């Protein structure tokens, strides 16, 4: 990819690649095909990163991080994304930095080392059945009762809740009329009495969850930031998660290009068409890299990349879907064989990605909402 880095940044990435090349992660079922790692596999990998000094890349050194730049953190995530290895997700890239900014001294001392070691995994609890993109209308309530909150309500599409230790919960502590000004962030252990987690299976076969809170009791000191100030914390957390890695689609593109040496297309016309599309995809992959790099540089400069991140999200999610459809056409009927099939090309990845990628246009912020952000904040258009 055409990414401009300094000599020091390049050496950092090469050093990390050398470490990963020497780490026998495949023996632990990681980086193989596109399977999501089990909880124990994920924990082993986090521990290996931690013990070798490869965690908290962008965190300040005083909180156990490496104190590297936003560019280096982005390159680090891209390398893990390309190899399909876990990197701690939003727990490391978003929630940890938000706790550094808004958490109490006790919260920092208690939570940050555990996040770096992989002892804590945190799922995002924002979306509700009637409060998707409009978080100001959420209804999950946390009622103050002395030194505790009593939480009642429901969250949906809470990805990772089934293996996470905590939920980063946006709950209403003020009136419904207060909308965003009446929301607080509370860190809720998933082992708390009264929590029920039900699976929601997606069309790709992956799992997300709906979570029910039935009079769940959580100490007030688990609230992050001031009461009813959760909206600002959510916005800050979002600013830390703006970089969307393109590494996984780059690996997929490389895999497809290698398959091209063994054509499976049914007609010569389709093969010629795929050659043309492959060249277009190579150019579009460069664009994906440049969008991601621009977002990282905005963060590096201390700015919140609202518009840049929205552009990158819309572009990459729709690019992935285009590649999925065209590649499945090229591979032919065999491409519909599912993951793990002995006769499936590339282990069945093409069928899986065809079913997975349409969801990317919705998850992480619906693309139509992102287009509104681009129009209003980027182009100055009216609501």
Looking at 258-262, 265-269, 325-329, 361-365, which range is the least confident one? Answer: 265-269
| Domain contains 186 | yes
Q: What is the DSSP letter of 92?
A: I
User: Furthest-apart CA pair in the chain: how many Å?
Assistant: 73
CATH number, domain containing residue 272: 1.20.140.10
Q: 333 lies in which domain range?
A: 242-378
Looking at 170, 205, 230, the residue that finishes a domain is 230
Is 275 in the same domain as 364? yes
| Domain contains 92 | no
Residues 324-351, mean pLDDT to the nearest whole number: 75
Looking at 230, 254, 282, the residue that finishes a domain is 230
Is 249 in the same domain as 355? yes
Is 140 in the same domain as 177? yes
Q: What is the mean pLDDT of the chain?
A: 86
Q: Domains in the chain: how many in total?
A: 3
Global pTM exceeds 0.75: yes
Residues 273-279, mean pLDDT to the nearest whole number: 75
| Domain contains 127 | yes
Pairing of strands 122-125, 166-172: parallel
Q: What residue ranges in the chain does DSSP mark as E strands? A: 122-125, 141-145, 148-156, 166-172, 183-189, 195-201, 207-219, 223-224
**Contact predicate 172/141, CB 8 Å:** yes
Is 133 in the same domain as 191? yes
Separation CA 232–CA 44 (nearest Å) = 34
256, pLDDT greater than 90: no
| Domain contains 96 | no
What does the block give as tokens for 296? 């990282």
Most confident of 146-160, 331-345, 350-364: 146-160
| pLDDT per position as a tens digit, 84-121 | 898 877 898 889 989 999 999 999 999 999 999 989 99
Is 292 in the same domain as 167? no
Is 259 in the same domain as 212? no
Looking at 199, 230, 261, the residue that finishes a domain is 230
**Contact predicate 326/278, CB 8 Å:** no
**pLDDT band per the 50, 70, 90 thresholds, residue 371:** very high
Q: Which pLDDT score, from 0 to 100, does residue 39 have?
A: 75
User: Catalytic residues, which ones?
Assistant: 241
| Domain contains 97 | no
| Domain contains 307 | yes
Is 247 in the same domain as 225? no
List the beta bridge partners of residue 185. 170, 224
**pLDDT band per the 50, 70, 90 thresholds, residue 151:** very high
Distance of CA 103 to the CA centre of its chain: 22
Q: Which pLDDT score, from 0 to 100, does residue 143 have?
A: 96
Is 366 in the same domain as 272? yes
Cα distance from N-terminal residue to C-terminal residue, the chain: 37
| Domain contains 110 | no
Is 11 in the same domain as 75? yes
Residues 194-219, mean pLDDT to the nearest whole number: 93
CA distances from 72 to 6, 15, 236, 294, 312 (A): 10, 12, 20, 13, 18
| Domain contains 103 | no
Is 77 in the same domain as 16? yes
Q: What percent of the chain has pLDDT over 90?
A: 43
Is 247 in the same domain as 226? no
341, pLDDT greater than 70: no
Is 279 in the same domain as 309? yes
**Contact predicate 45/92, CB 8 Å:** no
């Amino acid at each position: 990819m055409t990414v401009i880095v300094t000599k020091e940044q390049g050496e950092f990435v090469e050093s990390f690649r050398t470490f990963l090349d020497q780490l026998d992660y495949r023996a632990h079922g990681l980086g193989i095909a596109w399977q999501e790692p089990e909880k124990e596999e994920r924990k082993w990998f986090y521990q290996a990163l931690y013990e070798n000094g490869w965690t908290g890349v962008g965190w300040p050194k005083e909180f156990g991080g490496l104190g590297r730049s936003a560019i280096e953190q982005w390159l680090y995530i891209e390398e893990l994304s390309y190899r399909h290895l876990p990197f701690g997700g939003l727990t490391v890239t978003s929630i940890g930095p938000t706790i550094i900014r808004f958490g109490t001294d006790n919260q920092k001392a208690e939570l940050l080392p555990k996040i770096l070691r992989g002892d804590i995994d945190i799922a995002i609890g924002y979306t509700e059945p009637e409060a998707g993109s409009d978080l100001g209308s959420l209804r999950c309530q946390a009622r103050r009762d002395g030194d505790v909150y009593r939480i009642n309500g429901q969250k949906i599409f809470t990805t990772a809740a089934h293996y996470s230790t905590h939920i980063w919960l946006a709950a209403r502590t003020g009136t419904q009329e207060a909308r965003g000004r009446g929301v607080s962030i509370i860190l809720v252990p998933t082992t708390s009495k009264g929590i029920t987690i039900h699976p929601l299976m997606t069309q790709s076969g992956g799992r997300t969850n709906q979570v029910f809170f039935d009079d769940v009791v959580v100490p007030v000191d688990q609230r992050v930031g001031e009461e009813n100030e959760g909206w600002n914390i959510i916005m800050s957390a979002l600013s830390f998660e703006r970089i969307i890695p393109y590494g996984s689609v780059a690996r997929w593109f490389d895999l497809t290009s290698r398959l091209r040496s063994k054509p499976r297309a049914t007609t010569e016309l389709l093969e010629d068409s795929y050659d043309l599309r492959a060249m277009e995809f190579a150019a579009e992959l460069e664009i994906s890299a440049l969008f991601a790099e621009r977002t990282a540089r905005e963060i590096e400069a201390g700015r919140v990349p609202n518009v840049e991140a929205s552009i990158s999200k819309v572009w990459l999610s729709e690019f992935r879907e285009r590649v999925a459809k065209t590649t499945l056409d090229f591979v032919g009927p065999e491409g519909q064989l599912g993951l793990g099939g002995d006769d499936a090309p590339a282990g069945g990845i093409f069928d899986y990605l065809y079913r997975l990628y349409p969801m990317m246009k919705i998850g992480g912020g619906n693309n139509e909402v992102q287009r509104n952000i681009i129009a209003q904040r980027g182009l100055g258009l009216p609501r």
